[in-house]
Amino acid sequence: MANYDYDVIIAGGGMAGLITAASIGSFSRQKARILVVDRNPPSDPGKKTINGWTCGDAVSKRSVDYIAKNIGISYGKPELEHPVDGVLVYSPDHETKVLFEGEGFILNRKILPHRQVEDAKKLGVEFTYNVVCDRLYSEDGFVRGVTGRAMPESVPFKKTAKMVIDAAGSATKLRPNLPISSKIDPDIDRDDLESTGRYIFDFEVEREDPTWFDSRYALIHLDQYIAPGGYSWTFPKGKNKVNIGLGVQKKALDERNQKNGRKDGLQDLIDQYVAMNKAIGKPVQSPSNDDLGNTKGSWQVSVRRHNDCLVANGYAIVGDSAWMARPIDAGGIGPSIYASVMLGKVVAQAIEANDTSEEGLWQYNLEYMKHHGYQMASFEVLRRYLQTLTNDQISYGMKYFLSEEDISSIVNREHPRFSRLRLLNPAMMVRVAKEPKLASGLKHTADTSEDLISHNMNYPEKPSGFAAWKTQLLLKLQLAFKF
């Protein structure tokens, strides 16, 4: 290969970019020359927007453990700000709760990137700050660098490498303007994005009510009126500190406003949710230095399956730029962690083998799909179906149609089978008769999920098999989306 400034450039030093950088450093035994380019100043690594590190901050313990197991990096206090025993999802009528996820942490997203930058530097990673990456630079059908602007003077910036990893988040400018032909989808449908926002508050407990605040559990509230097409959350950061917010689908919000003669926007709904939360009294945006500049913000997150292809010649995508957040709950930290570690291993091997072609990087597609991503298409189907339901239907379904087995599937990140709906006992037959469309819709999502999962487990071993696999996938999805 020709001489390049680096082996690999990572555009974007957020959750995905920083873990990918450390992972390449670790798997290459610090031999790879790695540069992370981020638009933030060094004092604010990982900051998503001018409004801060906007996130619900929840991550499962098993995701955090995965980093420790694979690249030997363990986090602790203060970046793991508060431990939780799980995530509880409440039905709109608050009568049913479901444990959606096991043990985990509420992170301090402002502090964590400082720790991650130090870890990456110890593994030989270099950093360039204050640079906005605008475009990919290509040569002979390969991506070979990035161009952009060094701020604040907007001085032209260009660095070359054997490959570039796009970890610039959900608003990346790189993937939609890929200068070479590839199998990567450039654009996302507006309906597959959620508008989300949250506060970080210190507060006084107004009323002890664990359905509204519980320092041991991250709470999710389903309510199509207050969070149409999404959900709201109250995640504890301590006994008197909370990350509280919600996400909506724009189309669902417009329909809800029209139906109810309202003109609410995202921020109105967040403020209404805070006001209706019976446990949160006298909220103030947390004055702590650890939260300064990070207590109120909104941003977007994708809720579709990850991009069907994650690599091209000299290029790979990871994290939100690859739409990796889980379609069902928009949790993107866990998928970013798994994908970043897997990508790091594949890139270290590709650099060692001097082959950063699409084929040389293809193993990343396979690893991610087989070990984590295989569920995502079926969760996309379930998400789309749930968005069609009313509050009454969600409450009814959670009360009568969800079984223990379904709940343990959900905890294990598997698609629920809704096997209760297949019981032929009189009580269930009466319930199904009361909500026949709901019952058949849930069964449909479970049936199509099996087919989609087995299709994903047969992800092509080589790029040559991709076109046929993708055609089949789109046909299967077309059928699955017919509720």
Q: Which is nearer to ligand FAD, 320 or 435 (CB)?
A: 320
Quote the CA–CA distance of 207 and 193 in Å, as a whole number: 35
Stretch that binds ligand FAD, among 69-77, 190-198, 368-376, 399-407 (CB under 6 A): 190-198
> Binding to ligand FAD by residue 249, rule CB under 6 A?
no
Q: Does 47 bind ligand FAD (CB under 6 A)?
A: yes
Q: Does 334 bind ligand FAD (CB under 6 A)?
A: yes
Binders of ligand FAD among 1-20, rule CB under 6 A? 11-17
Q: Does 299 bind ligand FAD (CB under 6 A)?
A: yes
Place of tokens 């006994």: 239
If binding is defined by CB under 6 A, does position 331 make contact with ligand FAD?
Answer: yes
Question: What minimum distance in Å lies between the beta carbon of 429 and ligand FAD?
Answer: 39
Q: Which of 347, 301, 298, 358 is nearest to 324 (CA)?
A: 301
Cα separation, 333 vs 317, whole angstroms: 15
**Which residues have CB under 8 Å from 442's CB, separation 6+?**
385, 397, 401, 418, 421
- φ, ψ (nearest 5 deg) of residue 29: 50, 45
CA distance 133 to 17: 14
Report the residue from 26, 28, 32, 48 that binds ligand FAD according to the rule CB under 6 A.
Answer: 48
Report the alpha-carbon distance of residue 43 to residue 383 in Å, rounded.
38
**Binding range to ligand FAD, per CB under 6 A, among 43-51, 82-90, 92-100, 417-425:** 43-51
Cross-strand bridge partners of residue 317: 166
Count interface residues toward ligand FAD (CB under 6 A).
41
Helices (H), 126-180: none
CB 243 within 8 A of CB 198: yes
CB closer to ligand FAD, 327 vs 332:
332
User: Is residue 168 involved in binding ligand FAD (CB under 6 A)?
Assistant: yes
Residue 35 binds ligand FAD, judged by CB under 6 A: no
> Which amino acid is residue 41, in one-letter code?
P
Strands 155-166 and 315-317: parallel
The string of DSSP letters for 301-326 reads: EE-SPPPS--EETTEEE-GGGGT-S-
Contact predicate 295/245, CB 8 Å: no
Q: State yes or no: residue 22 binds ligand FAD (CB under 6 A).
A: no
Task: Give the C-alpha separation, 121 to 118, whole Å.
Answer: 5
Residue 398 token pair: 């959670």
Residue 301 engages ligand FAD in binding (rule: CB under 6 A): yes
How is 239-269 classified by DSSP, letter by letter? Answer: SSEEEEEEEEEHHHHHHHHHHHT----HHHH
- Identify the residue among 32, 34, 36, 39 touching ligand FAD (CB under 6 A): 39
Q: Give residue for tokens 């399956």.
A: 305
**What is the nearest approach in angstroms of ligand FAD to the Cβ of residue 458?**
27
| Residue number, 238 or 281, with CB nearest to ligand FAD | 238
Rule CB under 6 A: say whether 229 interacts with ligand FAD. no
Say if strands 97-101 and 104-107 run parallel, antiparallel, or are unpaired.
unpaired
Per CB under 6 A, the list member of 64, 125, 325, 438 interacting with ligand FAD is 325
Query: Which of 8, 58, 310, 402: binder of ligand FAD (CB under 6 A)?
Result: 58
Looking at 192-200, 351-359, 436-444, 447-455, which segment touches ligand FAD (CB under 6 A)? 192-200
Query: 476 phi and psi, to 5 degrees?
Result: -65, -40
Which of the ranges 40-48, 93-101, 199-207, 280-288 carries the binding residues for ligand FAD, by CB under 6 A? 40-48
Tell me which of 28, 40, 232, 363 binds ligand FAD, using CB under 6 A: 40
- Based on CB atoms, which residue is closest to ligand FAD, 46 or 229? 46
Q: Answer yes or no whether residue 88 interacts with ligand FAD by CB under 6 A.
A: no
Q: Is 138 in the site for ligand FAD (CB under 6 A)?
A: no
Binding site for ligand FAD (CB under 6 A): 11-17, 37-40, 46-48, 54-59, 132-133, 167-169, 173, 196-198, 245, 299, 301, 319-320, 325, 330-334, 336
